[in-house]
């Protein structure tokens, strides 16, 4: 099979370690690995996989994923299209561009909005798929349209409305389409004011967030409704006013209420700085992370009757 792959990508690798491609710094090897530099190569590789019943996976910045210790028995693709064009207040950007780079370029050209996402790891592609956000904003607020490769290996244009954005969710999480390009419409802003905001958010994140390898937030925050309010009141939990303002209960709040900060299984730990971050403090295995996630979910469910949902995607399990 490797000979067939090499006809499309002469640089394709076998038994390629995925560990360093993730922010968790955890994971086994991919049977095959390709760094894809154009759409034609992507189409040909994925077609070949389908024809030969080989699983394939496209990864971006490696945040919000946990790869099995056994790796991935198929082809892992990492895009390297390197497209970033800014015309007036419209940005055309390929899915592989790191979100940090995009934010920096937008601010440098006096465009405003994305600076509120300063410090979110990963690529713009991953941010769109998971509708990433922070400090009262989310990527769907600025997205005009995307170009995807669909199941029939056709390039398809989808509007913001087509993507069915929800909290930390989009249509792209529910299918096998591959995000190729993103078009954003930002507001004209003030570079100096945006830089000040970036510094403020960076300092806030540095203070609150752990500095060990992690996948970012482990669990989605919980939408605040009467049912959740009643469940917490029954357990005599005081709900801070600011949670009503944002209409969310932070998962970290519930985890902290159960004194799980600092809890360890193997090399994995519930961060002592931010309870919604599981961190790799001592060469954690994927199994260590899974066990710790399971423990947290069980404790929150048993105590509050609330089912936490992971933001982290599981790969190779």
Contact 22, 280 (CB under 8 A): no
CA distance 65 to 218: 10
Of all helices (H) and strands (E), which one includes residue 268? strand 268-270
DSSP for 119-188, written as a single string? T--SBHHHHHHTT-EETTEEGGGTEEEEEEE-TTS-EEEEETGGGT-BTTB-GGGSS--EEEEEEEE-EE
168 is catalytic: yes
Q: Give me the catalytic one of 63, 170, 217, 285.
A: 217
The torsion region of residue 242 among left (phi > 0), alpha (psi -120 to 50) and beta comes to alpha
Q: Give me the catalytic one of 63, 168, 271, 285.
A: 168
301 is catalytic: no
CA distance 45 to 71: 20
217 is catalytic: yes
Residues with catalytic roles: 168, 217, 311
């Amino acid at each position: 099979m490797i000979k067939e792959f090499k006809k499309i990508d002469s640089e394709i690798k076998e038994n390629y370690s995925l560990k360093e491609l993730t922010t968790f710094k955890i994971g086994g090897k991919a049977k095959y690995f390709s760094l894809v530099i154009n759409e034609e190569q992507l189409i040909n590789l994925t077609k070949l996989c389908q024809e030969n019943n080989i699983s394939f996976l496209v990864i971006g910045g490696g945040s919000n994923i946990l790869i099995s210790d056994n790796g991935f028995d198929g082809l892992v693709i990492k895009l390297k299209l390197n497209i970033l064009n800014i015309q007036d207040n419209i940005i055309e950007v390929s899915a592989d561009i790191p979100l940090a780079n995009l934010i920096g370029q937008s601010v440098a050209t006096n465009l405003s909005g994305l600076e509120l996402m300063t410090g979110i790891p990963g690529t713009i592609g991953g941010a769109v798929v998971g509708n990433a956000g922070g400090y009262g904003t989310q990527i769907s607020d600025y997205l005009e349209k995307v170009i995807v490769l669909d199941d029939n290996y056709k390039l398809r244009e989808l509007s913001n409305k087509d993507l069915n954005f929800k909290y930390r969710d989009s249509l792209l999480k529910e299918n096998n389409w591959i995000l190729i390009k993103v078009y954003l419409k930002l507001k004209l802003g003030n570079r100096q004011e945006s830089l000040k905001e970036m510094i403020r958010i960076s300092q806030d994140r540095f203070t609150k967030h752990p500095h060990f390898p992690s996948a970012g937030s482990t669990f989605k925050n919980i939408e605040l409704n009467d049912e959740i309010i009643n469940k917490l009141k029954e357990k005599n939990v005081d709900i801070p006013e600011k949670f009503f303002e944002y209409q969310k209960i932070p998962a970290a709040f519930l985890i902290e209420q159960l004194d799980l900060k600092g809890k360890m299984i193997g090399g994995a730990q519930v961060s002592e700085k931010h309870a919604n971050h599981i961190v790799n403090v001592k060469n954690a295995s994927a199994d260590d992370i899974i066990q710790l996630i399971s423990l947290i979910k069980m404790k929150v469910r048993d105590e509050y009757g609330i089912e936490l949902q992971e933001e982290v995607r599981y790969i190779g399990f």
